């Protein structure tokens, strides 16, 4: 299975990048996030127990105890598949260490509704000296739910270093961690053509040689709620997440990820929403924070895109490609940096900014705040204190159309060396 097809961003051809250097995240498997008082998660009640969206330990379905023994876990999953599903209670303070592959995975493929309940320090991992294999595969008809589990050490020559979700399969991870897995193709942590739901979970320090260092979704549905996608690396695109399906992200963070194109988040062809989320401190050669390609339509609400860097190309914060449509409401795009054009935003699509601040961004060439070649419409926004080394500190319009809607309160001011180039109604 291949990852999301990604066009070259700003004329920069994707080349392998160095692995992300490790740094601590601010999340643990069992601790709720700072935003847990907000009601942002989905409610899932399909016979697997309630998932408490406020972050407390919900009522989990009691299941069949599985002793701390990898062979017994393999046997329990095999029996659960044969019986049409089961709830399995794994041992606390236990690492189920897998040493051999079963059809390219350490555990039997999930083909029925199966819940794996973990607890304090419950881990499923691949032994360091074992042959290469991922940890889990979810096939069509399989519906895997993880509670308080860590999935780690998977490595495959294919896609899905930690977990592979094939078409017709589904994965739900609650208060779980997918960390330090490697895919030779796409989806270092998770690769999917099915349904993936993350709640109060962490995807970190995974690596993919193609797209989606943390998560790659070629088709299907991705929902990330009150979760962290941190410090993942892709050697082509989408260091944190690459998704061509329907994508929903809320009350989450995407930070410290790396890729040649689209350091934090790559979205394309599909549709979706990103709300109340921080996309910060990601790096790429081009498209440091968010890269949107392929003709999809997205809405961002109350999203902070900050401190991201494009090291050799365009767009420190947001890159919007030809054919993409995006609306950003109540957003903040600040302190991003581009080696060439578009410190905050480089736009080749159709972009609407409402009540959004573009501030403190820098470009080594043109368009410190916004570099535009297509259509940008700004309602009640502010473009302030951005800097371009050559021209268009606030907005550089290169043959496109920029509508500032000054009557709504839009302000363009205090940019250097000037506020705008070729933008009607913009003050000098």
pTM given for the model: 0.87
Are 314 and 342 contacting, i.e. CB atoms less than 8 angstroms apart? yes
Residues 39, 152, single domain; the answer is yes
Which pair of tokens denotes residue 56? Answer: 């407390």
Is residue 299 a part of any domain in this protein? yes
The pLDDT tens digits of the residues spanning 276-330 come to 999 999 999 999 999 999 889 999 999 999 999 999 999 999 999 999 999 999 9
What are the residues facing 90 on neighbouring strands? 66
Long-range contacts of 89-92 (CB under 8 A, 24+ apart): 89/62, 89/63, 89/64, 89/65, 89/117, 90/66, 90/116, 90/117, 90/118, 90/119, 90/122, 90/124, 90/149, 91/65, 91/66, 91/67, 91/119, 91/122, 92/118, 92/119, 92/120, 92/121, 92/122
Rounded-to-integer distance, Cα 290 and Cα 308, Å:
9
Q: Where is the domain boundary, 209, 225, 259?
A: 259
371: in domain: yes
234 and 316 belong to one structural domain: no
234 & 290 share domain:
no
DSSP 110: B
Whether residue 198 sits in one domain with residue 128: yes
One domain for residues 207 and 246: yes
pLDDT of 270 = 87
CATH of the domain at 86: 2.160.20
- By residue range, what is the domain housing residue 321? 263-428
Q: Which residue has the higher pLDDT, 47 or 340?
A: 340
HSE-CB at 264 with a 13 A cutoff on CA atoms is 32
pLDDT at 60: 63
Residues 253 and 337 in one domain: no
Structural domain contains residue 14: no
Same domain, yes or no, for 46 and 105?
yes
pLDDT over 70, % of the chain: 86
Per residue in 135-188, pLDDT (tens digit) is 999 999 999 999 999 999 999 999 999 999 999 999 999 999 999 999 999 999
Is 195 within a domain? yes
Q: Which two tokens stand for residue 358?
A: 């573009």
In a domain, 77, yes or no: yes
**Quick one: 172 and 85 in the same domain?**
yes
Neighbour tally for 69: CB within 10 Å: 14
Q: 192 by DSSP, 3-state: which?
A: strand
39 and 83 fall within a common domain:
yes
Residue 9 covered by a domain: no
152: closest CA among 190, 178, 113? 178
Tell whether 91 and 239 lie within a shared domain.
yes
My answer on whether 80 and 219 are in the same domain is yes
Write down the mean pLDDT value for the chain: 89
- pLDDT, tens digit (0-9, with 9 covering 90-100), for 356-404: 999 999 999 999 999 999 999 999 999 999 999 999 999 999 999 999 9
The angle at the Cα of 342, spanning 336 to 348, to the nearest 5 degrees, equals 130
Peptide bond into 417 cis (omega under 30): yes
Name the domain boundary from 259, 274, 293.
259
Cβ(343)–Cβ(366) under 8 Å?
no
Structural domains of the chain, count: 2
Q: Is residue 131 within 8 Å of 100, Cβ to Cβ?
A: yes
DSSP assigned state of 22: P
Q: Is residue 8 domain-resident?
A: no
Indicate whether 21 belongs to any domain.
no
Q: Are residues 210 and 250 in the same domain?
A: yes
- Residue ending a domain, among 259, 274, 298, is 259
């Amino acid at each position: 299975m291949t990852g999301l097809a990604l066009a070259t961003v700003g004329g920069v051809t994707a080349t392998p990048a160095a692995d992300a250097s490790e740094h601590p995240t601010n999340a643990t498997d069992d601790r709720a996030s700072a935003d847990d008082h907000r009601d942002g998660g989905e409610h899932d009640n399909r016979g697997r127990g309630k998932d408490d969206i406020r972050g407390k330990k919900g009522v989990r379905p009691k299941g069949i105890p599985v002793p701390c023994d990898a062979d017994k876990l393999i046997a329990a999953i095999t029996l659960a598949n044969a019986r049409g599903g089961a709830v399995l209670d794994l041992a606390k303070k236990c690492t189920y260490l897998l040493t051999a592959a079963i059809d390219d995975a350490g555990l039997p493929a999930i083909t029925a509704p199966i819940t794996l309940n973990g607890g304090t320090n419950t881990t499923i991992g691949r032994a360091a000296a074992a042959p290469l294999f991922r940890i889990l595969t979810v096939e069509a008809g399989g519906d895997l739910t993880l509670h308080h589990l860590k999935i780690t050490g998977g490595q495959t020559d294919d896609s899905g270093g930690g977990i592979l979700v094939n078409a017709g399969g589904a994965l739900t991870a609650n208060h779980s961690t997918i960390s330090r897995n490697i895919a030779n193709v796409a989806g270092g942590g998770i690769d999917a053509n099915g349904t993936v739901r993350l709640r109060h979970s962490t995807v970190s320090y995974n690596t993919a040689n193609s797209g989606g260092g943390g998560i790659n979704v070629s088709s299907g549905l991705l929902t990330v709620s009150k979760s962290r996608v941190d410090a993942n690396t892709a050697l082509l695109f989408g260091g944190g997440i690459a998704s061509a399906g329907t994508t929903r992200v809320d009350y989450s963070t995407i930070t410290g990820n790396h890729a040649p194109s689209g350091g934090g988040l790559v979205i394309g062809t599909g549709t979706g929403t990103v709300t109340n989320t921080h996309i910060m401190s990601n790096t790429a050669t081009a498209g440091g924070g968010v890269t949107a390609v392929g003709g999809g339509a997205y809405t961002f609400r109350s999203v902070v895109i900050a401190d991201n860097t494009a090291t050799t190309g365009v767009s420190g914060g947001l890159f919007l490609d030809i054919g993409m449509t995006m609306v950003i409401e109540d957003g903040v795009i600040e302190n991003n940096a581009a080696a060439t054009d578009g410190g905050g935003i480089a736009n080749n699509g159709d972009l609407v900014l409402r009540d959004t601040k573009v501030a403190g961004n820098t470009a080594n060439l043109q368009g410190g705040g916004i570099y535009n070649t297509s259509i940008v419409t700004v309602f009640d926004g502010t473009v302030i204190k951005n800097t371009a080394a050559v021209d268009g500190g606030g907005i550089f319009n290169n043959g496109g159309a920029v509508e500032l809607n000054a009557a709504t309160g839009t302000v363009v001011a205090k940019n250097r060396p000037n506020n705008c180039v070729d933008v009607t109604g913009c003050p000098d």
